[in-house]
Structure 1
Amino acid sequence: MSNKTKISVVLLAASAAFFTSLIGYEGYSSKPYKDSVGVATIGIGSTQYENGQRVKMTDKPITKERAIEISKAHVSKDEVAFRNSIKNARLSQAEYDLYLDFVYNFGQANWNNSSMRTLLNQGRNREACDKLLLWRNAGGRDCRIRSNNCYGVYARQLDRYSKCVAVN
């Protein structure tokens, strides 16, 4: 299947490239840390464990293998809600991965309220790409401004956007 081939989302799942990209952007931390908006995070950008318990700054360190388990469990839950939110969409694997990464990064509620979701359900995939660039803030800060200490959020959006445009 070509990276531009669009198929029903019910036939897609997070690819190996998705997880490689996720680890590349989120990095790995054995110890809890505060993310760019001050939320306790551990492993590969996880803010909660498989059982739904939120990460606390006092939690014990975890191994990289444990971090991968937590993120896979998180993604697995995200995928169900993500697929259900775009039942009418036809996506390429690249689009599926980049929008699932958006959900991992910004959350299901933000995804559900986004114009991207609406546009994808209408088959307007290229227009949905453009809406990615609207998501450039974290914690009330404009992440296009490097001194706001969240430029990585915006850089990740630029990467998603370029991948999206490339397949549309």
Structure 2
Amino acid sequence: MKAKILGASAAAVIALAATTLVQPWEGYSPTPYIDMVGVATHCYGDTSRPDKAVYTQQECAEKLNSRLGGYLTGVSKCIKVPLGERQWAAVLSWTYNVGVAAACNSTLVRKINDGQPATVWCPELDRWVYAGGKHVQGLANRRAAERAMCEGRP
């Protein structure tokens, strides 16, 4: 994985994705709740089975970093070309939201692996704005932030 993350370490990519994209868009919930598509969720969009009823913000941040590491490992197995730190952070945030299988089977990853430039594949993020078959403005806003990160915009 390190060879594919140009100019950055996995830890730097995880930190950038967590603080700039995932935490702000997922939001913090110390207790489990049911999300808009009926999935039990807690902390920062964590859909794993909770092992306690209430989490501190620090515990949620630690869980997020650990889970993002797993998602980065998963998606890096299907991306065969080098990406920069900001591109990896955008892809990681998106993968955390849609899942490794969906990411790896996507047109976005196919375009990355075909060697297409970021100006071609970053816009693919804009297509991932549906939940439960419905357009969700919050997802559109998140994808716009991920795309800006991907394209190197502020």
CA contact (8 A) 1:37 1:139 kept: yes
Which amino acid in 1 is paired with 2:84?
S
Q: Which residue of 1 aligns with 2:39?
A: 39
Q: Which residue of 2 aligns with 1:4?
A: none
**Distance in 1 between residues matched to 2:27 and 2:77, nearest whole Å:** 28
Q: TM-score, normalised by structure 2?
A: 0.85
**Distance in 1 between residues matched to 2:29 and 2:39, nearest whole Å:** 14
Pairing 1:42-57 to 2, within 5 Å after superposition: 42-48=42-48, 54-55=49-50
CA contact (8 A) 1:9 1:86 kept: no
- CA pair 12-86 structure 1, distance change in 2 beyond 3 A: farther
CA contact (8 A) 1:12 1:96 kept: no
Q: Does 1:113 align with 2:105?
A: yes
Q: Which residue of 2 aligns with 1:16?
A: 15
Q: Which residue of 2 aligns with 1:160?
A: 146
Size of the aligned set, in residue pairs, is 146
Structure whose residues are more often helix by fraction: 2
Matched residue SS, 2:18: helix
Q: Which residue of 2 aligns with 1:73?
A: 66
Q: Does 1:103 align with 2:89?
A: no
C-alpha deviation, 1:15, in angstroms: 4.3
C-alpha deviation, 1:23, in angstroms: 1.2
- In structure 1, runs of 5+ residues without a counterpart are 1-6, 49-53, 144-150
For 1:93, which of 75, 82, 85 is the aligned residue? 85
CA contact (8 A) 2:27 2:44 kept: yes
**Distance in 2 between residues matched to 1:161 and 1:79, nearest whole Å:** 18
Matched residue SS, 2:42: strand
> RMSD over aligned Cα, in angstroms?
2.0
Calculate percent identity across the aligned residue pairs. Answer: 28
**Distance in 1 between residues matched to 2:30 and 2:103, nearest whole Å:** 28
Q: Which residue of 1 aligns with 2:134?
A: 141
CA contact (8 A) 1:9 1:83 kept: no
**Distance in 2 between residues matched to 1:79 and 1:158, nearest whole Å:** 20
**Distance in 1 between residues matched to 2:68 and 2:151, nearest whole Å:** 24
**Distance in 2 between residues matched to 1:108 and 1:97, nearest whole Å:** 14
C-alpha deviation, 1:164, in angstroms: 2.4
Which amino acid in 1 is paired with 2:27?
G
* C-alpha distance after superposition, 1:34-63 (max 9, x if no partner): 222221111111011xxxxx249xx51111
For 1:63, which of 56, 59, 68 is the aligned residue? 56
Matched residue SS, 1:85: coil
